[in-house]
Amino acid sequence: FGMTEACPAIVFYHGGGWAAGDLDTHDGSCRVLAAESDCLVVSVDYRLAPEHPFPAAVDDCIAAYEWVHHNASELSIIPGVVGVMGDSAGGNLSAVVAQQMRNSDLPAPVAQCLVYPGTDMFFSEESHELFRSGFFLDRASMEWYRAAYLPDEADWANPLATPLKATDLSGLAPAYVITAGFDPLRDEGHLYAQRMVEAGVEVRYRCYDDLVHGFFGMGVLPDGLARIEEICATMGQMMHAST
């Protein structure tokens, strides 16, 4: 890995509606994350729907987080200083991992960065209607992704799928929640941030009012790379504050 001394690690979960995306689609973003955060980045290639529906992705993401902890010495990671981060579906999975590891025998994440996360499988917030179509991520696509990942509608209310349904958010890692102004997921991301604040979690929240869903992987957009670098640098500050 070329590491000369131990550093924090960020476990990254890519977006793609739990049914698309891979290591290659987010390679550029992860390289920026590593450079701007000064952390080791472990990008996770979890199983995808519809071939592998819920909870396969959750199981893989938790297993990857545990693997990083168990191999911290080999990876030149400061023991116990591991965070989680992801965009869209990856933000959802990051939130779920943070919740699940809170009461684990392993150290919980020291920070979580949720980039326009999906937190409500019921699509009940106002932004879902405001940006139903014409803003990159549309309602039809979201319904397809949901059906592929959660073929049993009874699972929509499971906190492992809908982090907002968790009854207790206290004790979670400090969070950095990012939303986009023209995004169906905007309001549920904001609501999850509010819920964490109410539970006593340290939360930083930023809405990029002029951007659409997916901008984290769109460095070619005007000012897009600068926004990505800003997010990654802030996550790095949160990680290094834990050392």
User: Minimal CA–CA distance to 5: which of 73, 69, 65, 80?
Assistant: 73
In the prediction, which pLDDT does 224 show?
Answer: 78
The reply to whether 212 falls in a domain is: yes
* Any domain includes 214: yes
In a domain, 128, yes or no: yes
- 9, 84 contact by CB (below 8 A): no
The verdict on residue 1 lying in a domain is no
Q: Is residue 220 pLDDT above 80, yes or no?
A: no
Lowest mean pLDDT among 24-33, 59-68, 223-232: 223-232
Closest CA to 165 of 228, 112, 132, 118: 118
In the predicted model, is pLDDT for residue 222 greater than 80? no
What is the extent of the structural domain holding 156?
7-240
Tracing tokens 């979890």 back to the chain, one arrives at 46
The number of distinct structural domains making up the chain is 1
Q: Residue 215 above 70 pLDDT? A: yes
Residue 205 — φ and ψ, nearest 5°? -130, 135
Q: Is the pLDDT of residue 1 over 60?
A: no
> 109-153, pLDDT tens digit by residue?
999 999 999 999 999 999 999 999 998 999 999 999 999 999 999
Q: Per-residue pLDDT for 218 more than 80?
A: no
Residue range 220-242: mean pLDDT, rounded: 90
Are the beta carbons of 157 and 185 closer than 8 angstroms?
no
Q: Which of 29, 37, 43, 88 is catalytic?
A: 88
Q: Residue 3: its pLDDT value, please?
A: 58
The yes-or-no answer on residue 88 being catalytic is: yes
Residue reference for tokens 């400061």 = 78
User: How far is Cα 93 from Cα 35, in angstroms, rounded to an integer?
Assistant: 23
Per DSSP bridges, beta strands 40-44 and 7-13 are: parallel
How far apart, in whole angstroms, are the C-alpha atoms of residue 219 and residue 161?
29
> How far is it, in rounded angstroms, from Cα 207 to Cα 177?
8
Domain-located, residue 119:
yes
Residue 93 has pLDDT above 90, yes or no: yes
Residue 213 annotated to the active site: yes
Please pick, among 60, 120, 183, 187, the residue that the annotation labels catalytic. Answer: 183
Q: What is the pLDDT of residue 217?
A: 82
Asked if 70 is an active-site residue, the reply is no
Assign residue 43 the CATH number of its domain: 3.40.50.1820
Report the 3 state secondary structure along the chain: CCCCCCEEEEEEECCCCCCCCCCCCCHHHHHHHHHHHCCEEEEECCCCCCCCCCCHHHHHHHHHHHHHHHCCCCCCEEEEEEEEEEECHHHHHHHHHHHHHCCCCCCCCCCEEEECCCCCCCCCCHHHHHCCCCCCCCHHHHHHHHHHHCCCHHHHHCCCCCHHHCCCCCCCCCEEEEEEEECCCHHHHHHHHHHHHHCCCCEEEEEEEEEECCHHHCCCCCCHHHHHHHHHHHHHHHHHCCC
Nearest partner of 169 among 205, 186, 193, judged by Cα: 193
- The predicted-structure confidence for 26-41, as pLDDT tens digits, reads as follows 999 999 999 999 999 9
Q: pLDDT digit string (tens) for 145-204?
A: 999 999 999 999 999 999 999 999 999 999 999 999 999 999 999 999 999 999 999 999
Band of residue 230 on the pLDDT scale cut at 50, 70, 90: very high
- Is 2 part of any domain? no
pLDDT in tens, 47-64: 999 999 999 999 999 999
Q: Which residue has the higher pLDDT, 8 or 226?
A: 8
